Structure formats: C-alpha cells, structure tokens
C-alpha cells in the first residue's frame, strides 16, 4: 500500500468520534479517494459521554482539567502511522464547533505537522501560527452558538461559563497577513439551495498569497450551528436551521487535498 493522506477529525463539544463519523461525510471521502480518516474522542467526566476538547479557552471538562489534547492528537497520528503507511507531507485537520477550535489550537502549537486545516463553525481565540498554513474556514453568519462576529456567547452546556469566540473575518484577515495574502478577500464562488431559498453560501478568498498558503472562507447565511450538508443528532431548536447549501466534508477535502508540507518531520 502506498503512503496515504490523513485527516484528523475533531467532533463537536458533547459529541464523540463515532457519532461524528455517522454524519460528517468523511467516510465517503475516504472510500473514494483512499484517505485515512481518524475520528478521535475528546475527554469527559462521564466516560464516553459529553466529551470535549481543550481548545485553550473552551470547552467543559477538557479545558477545566487542562487536558493535553495537542499531545493526544499527535499521539493519535502516530498510532495511525503504525497501522498504515502515512504520507507525512499530507496530514490535515478539521473539526466542528469545539472541534474546530481544537483544530486551530493544533495548528498554532504544531504547525509543522499539518499541511492545511479546515475548521467548521468554531473560531478559536488564537494567533496565527508562526509559519504559513493554508486555511479554509466554514461558518454561518447566523450561527446562534459560535458567534460569527465574536464575543461572549452562551455558556457551554452544563456549565455556567460563557464561551469567548473569535471574530471570523478579522481573525482570517490576520491569518492571511501572516501567509502573505491579499489584504481583502474576493468572492470566487456562490451557492444556493432549493431546499431552503433563504440559505446562501459565498466563498471568499484572500488571494494571491506570496507563500502559496491560501486562506478561504465559506460564509453561509440563513443556517445555524450544524455541520453543513448533513443533519446531526442535535435538534434544530438548539443548533439553528440545518443546511445543505454546501457539503462541508466535500468542500473541506476539495481545499485540503491541494496542499502538501514538504518539510514535515517523519513520524
């Protein structure tokens, strides 16, 4: 078997890797394109229930206990490499909500390991990594849980502490500046869906980039906090409207697959 690319996938807060596997859409990517997908579990006080990731300022048990989830993510990658041949130049990460914030933390603390990232519906309060890293972010401006414009949002479930969210476009602009990209984004694609005429998606790109490390944003309108393209187990009254205006797994892979990190260290 030839070395294969790997996608590290981080479930949302309160979820599990197995749960995200059922609705995230990455199994189809793996089966079609020969990608290795690792669905890791966060940690929690109740065994395999209410699991979270320590994304720095969120969330729940993992943050409160200062769990070393960056170290854990790298250990998961090492375990994958012991089971199958891994192309170390093509290691990617994505996640939903708290998992998206975890993706940002991993990118900041271990940027030399990743070739690109694609977080969805969660903006960490982090600075861009020291070295350029391609980034696709997916987020609805109408997300009721992870606030698009940043600030203090609702408390994480079963806690009294509000979650602080980074503002999406200002954060991506800082990231683009670090990557040597254009100062302002331009729209390069637009989507709509017959199933929800008030839902739309616009793909913004900060381009060109002198480093080649592109920064893109799928900016969605009308949808809530759910994973775009799939309906998860959490009801819409809590998440906001689900949408199929884009398929987040397919758009993530379409972006990620274009990038390699030639200087990635061996596993």
Give me the pLDDT at residue 45, please.
84
User: Tokens for 125?
Assistant: 């309060």
pTM of the model: 0.96
Q: Provide the terminal-to-terminal Cα distance of the chain, rounded to the nearest Å.
A: 17
Give me the pLDDT at residue 1, please.
78
**Residue 157 pLDDT grade (very low, low, confident, very high; cuts 50, 70, 90):** low
User: In this structure, what is the dihedral angle of CA atoms 45, 239, 68, 25, given to the nearest 10 degrees?
Assistant: 110
Higher per-residue confidence, 156 vs 40: 40
Average pLDDT score over residue span 20-31: 96
Give me the pLDDT at residue 125, please.
81
Give me the pLDDT at residue 159, please.
64
Give me the pLDDT at residue 158, please.
63
Give me the pLDDT at residue 27, please.
97
Q: How far is 141 from 243, CA to CA, in rounded Å?
A: 13
> Tokens 């809530």 appear where?
224
Q: Is residue 258 left, alpha or beta, with left meaning phi > 0 and alpha meaning psi from -120 to 50?
A: alpha
Q: 116: which strand partners?
A: 92
| CA distance readout (Å), 181 to 132, 146, 187, 251 | 10, 26, 15, 21
Range name among 42-51, 67-76, 198-207 with the lowest pLDDT average: 42-51
Q: Is residue 151 left, alpha or beta, with left meaning phi > 0 and alpha meaning psi from -120 to 50?
A: left
Q: What is the per-residue pLDDT across 51-72, written as a single tens digit (0 to 9) for each?
A: 999 998 888 899 999 999 999 9
> Tokens 């200062």 appear where?
66
Q: 189: which strand partners?
A: 203
Q: How far is 220 from 141, CA to CA, in rounded Å?
A: 6
Cβ-proximal residues to 205 (8 Å cutoff; 6+ apart), any chain: 185, 186, 188, 214, 215, 216, 217
**Which domains, ranges and CATH numbers included, belong to the chain?**
4-256 (3.40.50.1820)
Is the confidence at residue 161, as pLDDT, over 80? no
Preceding peptide of 37 cis, ω within 30°: no
Q: 96: which strand partners?
A: 120
Q: What is the mean pLDDT of the chain?
A: 94
Give me the pLDDT at residue 245, please.
97
**Residue 232 pLDDT grade (very low, low, confident, very high; cuts 50, 70, 90):** confident
Q: What is the per-residue pLDDT across 76-125, written as a single tens digit (0 to 9) for each?
A: 999 999 999 999 999 999 999 999 999 999 999 999 999 999 999 999 88
CB atoms within 10 A of CB 105: 23
Range name among 10-14, 45-49, 103-107 with the lowest pLDDT average: 45-49
Q: What is the per-residue pLDDT across 131-145, written as a single tens digit (0 to 9) for each?
A: 999 999 999 999 999
Q: 91: which strand partners?
A: 6
């Amino acid at each position: 078997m030839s070395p294969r690319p790997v996608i590290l996938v981080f479930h949302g807060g309160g979820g599990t890797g197995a749960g995200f596997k059922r609705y995230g859409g990455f199994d189809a990517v793996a089966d079609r394109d020969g990608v290795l997908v690792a669905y890791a579990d966060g940690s929690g006080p109740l065994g395999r229930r209410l699991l979270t990731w320590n994304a720095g300022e969120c969330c729940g048990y993992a943050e409160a206990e200062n769990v070393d989830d960056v170290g854990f993510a790298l250990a998961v990658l090492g375990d994958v490499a012991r089971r199958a041949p891994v192309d170390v130049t093509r290691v990617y990460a994505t996640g939903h909500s708290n998992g998206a914030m975890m993706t940002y933390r991993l990118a900041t603390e271990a940027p030399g390991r990743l070739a690109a990232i694609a977080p969805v519906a969660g903006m960490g309060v982090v600075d861009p990594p020291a070295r350029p890293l391609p980034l696709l972010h997916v987020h609805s401006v109408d997300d009721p849980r992870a606030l698009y414009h940043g600030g203090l949002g609702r408390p994480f479930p079963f806690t009294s502490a509000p979650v602080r969210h980074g503002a999406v476009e200002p954060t991506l602009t800082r990231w683009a500046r670090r990557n040597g990209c254009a100062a302002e984004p331009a729209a390069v694609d637009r989507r709509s869906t017959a199933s929800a005429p008030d839902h739309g998606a616009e793909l913004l790109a900060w381009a060109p980039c002198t480093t080649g490390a592109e920064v893109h944003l799928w900016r969605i309108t009308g949808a809530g906090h759910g994973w775009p393209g799939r309906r998860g187990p959490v009801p819409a009254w809590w998440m906001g409207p689900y949408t199929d205006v884009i398929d987040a797994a397919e758009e993530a892979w379409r972006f990620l697959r274009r990038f390699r990190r030639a200087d990635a260290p061996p596993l």
